[in-house]
Amino acid sequence: MRFFLLLLLMMSVGCRSHRVDSSAVRPVKVTTASHSAFIERDFAGMATPDDAVTLAFKVAGQVLDLPVPTGEYVAKGTLLAELNPRDIELQVASDRSAFEQARSQFARMQRLLEHQAVSQQEFEAARTRYTQAQSTYENSLDGLKDTKLRAPFASVVERKYVDTYERVQAGQAVIRVVNPRSTTVQFTVPEQGLELLTADSTRFSVVFDNYRNTTFRAALKEFVKTSSDASGFPVSLRLVDVDTTRYRIAPGMSCIVSMRVADRMPDVVSLPVTAIYAPAEGGDYVWVVGRDDRVSLRAVELGELFGRDLVTVLRGVEPGDRVVTAGVYRLREGDEVRILK
């Protein structure tokens, strides 16, 4: 029995000797609160074609050939698709015959009119028939040219919508080509960022996943002021002074677009998001380090997020305050801290 009591006494002493000292100095990281001179926001973006077009025949017919495979680079003027010209050639022959006949009759009427063998009215009717036949014949010749689709600019065949020997209608999509070099970037902004796009102080920069160590300057190209599906407002940027021979930026490349604009409330303090202490019972707070290196909890009113990890603080923190940015959930009121460099 005496041995058992002695054992309990030793265990009790051991536990007391290993108890954590609540007054221990805690290491923390801090930042000095300062005014937010600018707001910077990042958006996911993608390079889009500078030039892209979906080609279609102006006449109906059967596709005779699609000589260029998908993904192939083509020069301007390269034949991309061709219709069977047989039907058009028959029409051209018929219209040419009608035109030559009308021209012969009109020449005959001119000679007869000089000898006053026909009336002026008969002559005018022959001239009208000649003009109409000529127009019809020229349209047929243009239709024969329209049986061939050629690349309007140096491009890459992105997609084919029809197959060889398939019959197509006039205006039906046949083939799509895009410029393989891009200087256009598109991204989407939420409603609250729309008014910042045209601000005088707004600047844009772009970093592509393929060129992470290079930042490209960009300028606003255009944006849509409506959003039918409430997913955001599409914005297009134009890369400024980019060397396309060195940086092969192609449509579809992903990137990060940074929009930087002067803060409309320059007196507002900004802090890293990690400095905000939000307990389960509610509210937003920060730990402020005093001159005695002890922390005190202070309630704050937050503004909007900006940049990569910053938030504006409307009330509760003054410029120059030392605010804890790491370990905020381990502190208690009055704890002494050691600031990590």
Q: What pLDDT was estimated at residue 122?
A: 86
CA–CA separation, 75 and 154 (whole Å): 4
Digit-coded pLDDT (tens) for 297-326: 999 998 877 666 778 888 898 888 999 998
Residue 5 in domain: no
Is residue 79 located within the same domain as residue 153?
yes
Digit-coded pLDDT (tens) for 78-105: 999 999 988 777 888 888 888 888 888 8
Strand ranges, E, within 273-319: 285-289, 295-299, 301-306, 310-315
Question: What's the start-to-end Cα distance of the chain, in Å?
Answer: 56
CATH number at residue 110: 1.10.287.470
Report which DSSP code applies to 76.
T
Run of H or E residues at 270: strand 269-272
Pair of tokens at residue 62 = 């059967």
Residue 3 in domain: no
Residue 317 in domain: yes
Residue 158 in domain: yes
**Residues spanned by the domain of 289:** 26-36+266-339
Which strands form 285-289's sheet, in the order they lie side by side? 295-299, 285-289, 322-326, 26-32, 337-339
Residue 282 in domain: yes
Q: What pLDDT was estimated at residue 3?
A: 42
Is residue 172 located within the same domain as residue 196?
no
Residue 9 in domain: no
Pair of tokens at residue 216 = 């490209």
Q: What pLDDT was estimated at residue 190?
A: 83
Residues of the chain with pLDDT under 70: 1-23, 36-37, 229, 263-267, 306-308
Q: What pLDDT was estimated at residue 7?
A: 42
Q: What pLDDT was estimated at residue 110?
A: 86
Residue 74 in domain: yes
Helix (H, G, I), strand (E, B) or coil at 250: coil
Is residue 127 located within the same domain as residue 154?
no
CATH number at residue 331: 2.40.420.20
Read out DSSP for 323-336? Answer: EEEE-GGG--TT-B
Is residue 188 located within the same domain as residue 232?
yes
- Please give the tally of structural domains in the chain: 4
Is residue 138 located within the same domain as residue 276?
no
Q: What pLDDT was estimated at residue 306?
A: 67
CA–CA separation, 306 and 109 (whole Å): 83
C-alpha 171: how far from chain center: 29
CB count, 10 Å around CB of 312? 18
Is residue 200 located within the same domain as residue 275?
no
Pair of tokens at residue 285 = 């707070």
Is residue 212 located within the same domain as residue 96?
no
